[in-house]
Chain A
Amino acid sequence: MNKIYLIIQREFLSRVRKRSFLIVTLLVPLAFAAMIIIPAVLAGNSNSSTKVAVVDKSGIFKGQFQDSRNTYFKFISDQHPDSLKRHYADQGYSGVLLIPEIDLERPSGFEYYSDAQASIALEHTITNNLNSVIERKRMEINGIDKAKLDAIRADVTVEFKDSKDEKKGSSAASFILGYASGFTMYFMLLLFGTSVMRGVMEEKVNRIAEVMISSVRPFQLMMGKITGIAAVGLLQFLIWGVLLFLLSMAMPLFMSPEAIQTANQAGSNAEMAEAMQKFSFVLGKINWALFIGCFIFYFLGGYLFYSSLYAAVGSLANEDASDIQQMTLPLTAPIIISSIILVRAVADPTSPLAVWASIIPFSSPLVMMARIPAGVPGTVPYWQLLLSMLVLIGGFIASTWIAGRIYRTGILMYGKKITLKEATRWIFSKS
């Protein structure tokens, strides 16, 4: 036991003392912050404006369009549409909107000409303007008073609450949190899995493995490395946790509510935008103890599950490192597939795909973390959580056993290329 502790200590210290550890640890939260702040800043400072030339043959739209922050409309009647279509750019317009003679009952035939692809925002602005003008005209014809209608219109919001406790739930907040934790898990598993693999490869190629194996059992060496790197990961989480907490405290200093709003508009996903608004209010209502506990559990479980297999693959390496690339595919593929399922699971956390993927150990670390913010035990019943955890524990015991058997043979095998097929035979060979 003492030996494995020594190995853990070396693996941990040799990584933490490196300058790159400090750099990565500090850069990641900055990158996260930048991902939120930069779109907001860009959207806020955006100087680009769109000028649209409008040719209105029907004559009912003139002067009725609302200019928005970045979009201006200019009605033109003294130029032929065909010549305008050719020369709009020379006159400083981004495009030409042609409104034909229309039948108010069945309006159609609106055309927009531009060399550049029209943005979704511009499309929205134009159709909104057209629709509202037509609606207004129709109301006039039917004798409806617009002021009265506005007064009649309702605009309610529903507060979604958990039926089991009185805390306010929010699908938006859980959406964001599910995404964030699922993808953090994704990056962590890939990053630390590869780190374990590279460590094993280094030991094998440097031939230190043989010296080590004459002092400790191969399994001790493998588990020592895996545990040491896990400790590095946990330390990193701790630092990030503290940094993100400090950063979120400081966030209001950087961002006014309007800035947050524009950041939302900058994102094309309307759901995301809505989520962002509620996010800051709801974050405080989430069961953080359960969430963080589960996150650490699934990180460790998923990490043990995958990294031991990465260690096994690393032990198959030769001096020629390029062979390893294709051997990691069977490990990288399930992680990437899980990340795709994760996107679906966040949107619909109770779908059968999400439920089963959160129980199978290949995908459960990512997918379960995407579901948990949606609510325990509301969305994720306790039995599912418990089953998923037990299966993951069973999974990593099995995967470390398999990996250990491959590793102890592979780490001392030099000079010839080892195929995956050969390696799988070692799993069942007698000791």
Chain B
Amino acid sequence: MNLLEVQHLKKYYATHKAVDDISFNIAQGSIFGLLGPNGAGKTTLLRMITGIFYPDSGNILLNGRHFDPMNDLQAIGYMPEERGLYKKMPVAEQVLYLAQLKGLDKKTANARIRHWFDKFEMNAWAHKKVDELSKGMQQKVQFISTILHEPKLLILDEPFSGLDPINSNLLKQEIFNLSKNGTTIIFSTHRMEQVEEICDHIMLVNKGHKILDGSVKQIRQDFKQGLFRIGVGVMPNAAQMATWHFTIVSVDDHSFTLKLNPDSTTNDILMHFIRQEIPVTYFEEILPSINEVFISQVQLTENVAATA
């Protein structure tokens, strides 16, 4: 079932089209990666989903019903890319305040604050002012205040920026936990290795348009270029490598990157090595990383835009 359905969403500014006819669905409990270069329209899109902006046209359905910013804000937790906290306010008080604004009563909010502060080992900091905290610590405060009201839809814009590897890992685990417990997460980032690691599903936007949309596995399959890596026990000579089944892309120490020719199969490659009596140590398909897909697709749309 889809928690969020976005249909033909548009938001035009005086000078440019920030979001131009974007549609997508997000399944309940999934982690959805929203990718795009700077200025692609990600923030505008997220601000419409969080009810900060009204779209010019199009529909947003939450749980199958029309999204109503007045009443549905409780169901959403939004952590913007630029973190914001009241600098002079004590940490615990601040989290309580933001939770109460999301409709939590004081008792429940305080109980959950204790739970999360224990978990993130932040009790010593509870009564310190925000500006006395380190950046990473402020990040954790921001995260806690985003999830304290247990939103159905959690929107995280670059949640790992400024965190050290230990805290990044801690946060990642919490994101997985929340997802396991049914929270749907939109995850907006530039860090592609995190996308592959965390997201089930991604959407790439550029210049207000959706470029592609699909599961991480599917996208890597869709954009594969027939590249394979083969490991060899003994380096063959050039004559041994001559065949019409593949071309050599690169040679490494005891391995080759090969591009399969369109009319051949992977078994043709293996057969060739066996016939030439070259000992094969391993054979694997090279799938493009999301990063490579991202760069090639963004460049493609830039070129289209440039020639148009």
Binding site for B on A (CB under 8 A): 3, 6-7, 10, 14, 203, 206-217, 412, 414, 431
Contacts and interface: CB of A to CB of B under 8 A. Distances in A.
16 contacts: A6-B100, A14-B89, A203-B86, A207-B80, A207-B82, A208-B84, A208-B85, A208-B86, A214-B50, A214-B73, A214-B78, A215-B98, A215-B101, A216-B73, A217-B69, A412-B47
A14 B93 CA distance: 11
B256 interface: no
Contacts of A210: 52, 78, 80, 82, 84
Contacts of A431: 54
Interface string B90-107: 000000011011100000
Given A211-B80, A214-B52, A206 B101 contact: no
Contacts, number: 59
A121 to B, nearest CB: 52
A207 B98 contact: no
**Which among A210, A211, A215, A431 has the greatest number of chain B C-beta atoms within 10 A?**
A215
Contacts of A208: 84-86
Contact of A212 (B76, B79, B87, B101): B101
**Which among A7, A210, A214, A217 has the greatest number of chain B C-beta atoms within 10 A?**
A214
Given A207-B84, A211-B79, A412-B53, 18 more contacts: A6-B97, A6-B101, A7-B101, A10-B97, A207-B82, A208-B84, A210-B52, A210-B80, A211-B78, A211-B84, A211-B98, A212-B84, A212-B101, A214-B51, A214-B52, A214-B73, A214-B78, A414-B82
B120 to A, nearest CB: 19
**Which among B69, B82, B89, B102 has the greatest number of chain A C-beta atoms within 10 A?**
B82
B98 to A, nearest CB: 7
B52 A213 contact: yes
A207 B83 contact: yes
Given A6-B101, A215-B98, A215-B101, A206 B85 contact: yes
A33 to B, nearest CB: 32
Contacts of A217: 69-70
Interface in B61-75: 69-70, 73
B88 interface: yes
Contacts of B98: 211, 215
Q: Is the interface of A mostly helix, strand, loop or mixed?
A: helix
Nearest to B145: A211
Contacts of B101: 3, 6-7, 212, 215-216
A96 to B, nearest CB: 65
**Which among B70, B73, B79, B145 has the greatest number of chain A C-beta atoms within 10 A?**
B73
Nearest to A224: B101
Nearest to B83: A207
A386 B11 CA distance: 46
B84 A215 contact: no
Contacts of A412: 47, 52-53
A412 B76 CA distance: 19
Contacts of B79: 211
Contacts of A7: 101
A392 B298 CA distance: 56
Given A214-B73, A412-B47, A14 B54 contact: no
A428 to B, nearest CB: 13
A255 B84 CA distance: 55
Nearest to B53: A412
A409 B54 CA distance: 11
A203 B85 CA distance: 8
B73 A206 contact: no
A402 B47 CA distance: 23
A215 B73 contact: yes
A11 B70 CA distance: 23
Interface in B10-63: 47, 50-54
A214 B101 CA distance: 10
Contacts of B54: 431
Contacts of A414: 82
B304 to A, nearest CB: 27
Q: Which 10 A-B pairs have the closest CB atoms?
A: A207-B84, A208-B84, A214-B78, A215-B101, A207-B82, A210-B80, A214-B50, A211-B84, A213-B52, A6-B100
B16 to A, nearest CB: 13
Contacts of B76: 214
Nearest to A208: B84
A210 B87 CA distance: 15
A215 B80 contact: no
Nearest to B49: A214
B44 to A, nearest CB: 10
Contacts of A10: 97
A214 B47 CA distance: 8
Contacts of B47: 412
Contacts of B89: 14
A210 B78 CA distance: 9
Contacts of A213: 52
A216 B50 CA distance: 11
